[in-house]
Amino acid sequence: MAEEKEAVIDLTPDVGEIIFNIDVMLAKRKMSVTELAERVGITIANISVLKNGRAKAIKVSTLTRLCNALDCQPGDLLEYRKSDEH
């Protein structure tokens, strides 16, 4: 199985960061990035941006489609980490 990595979106380092756990959910659902992209209706490149923590924002509609495709809640995908927890 591929190593599960967390994607860190660090937009406000003095406040904290949002961790995107798409890899974890993909592994739990035994789903490929390609299949997820097809189910959500976005490109593999955009899934990769989310997975690798390079996203500056995410539309609520995209988050909704991700949750639907992965049969999960937003909290399963997103995690907040305070800056002092590095």
Q: What is the pLDDT of residues 22-37, one digit of tens each?
A: 999 999 999 999 999 9
Q: What is the pLDDT of residues 30-85, one digit of tens each?
A: 999 999 999 999 999 999 999 988 888 999 999 999 999 999 999 999 999 888 75
pTM score of the predicted model: 0.79
Nearest to 81 by CA among 29, 2, 20, 3: 20
Q: What contacts 15, CB < 8 A, 6 or more positions away?
A: 82, 83
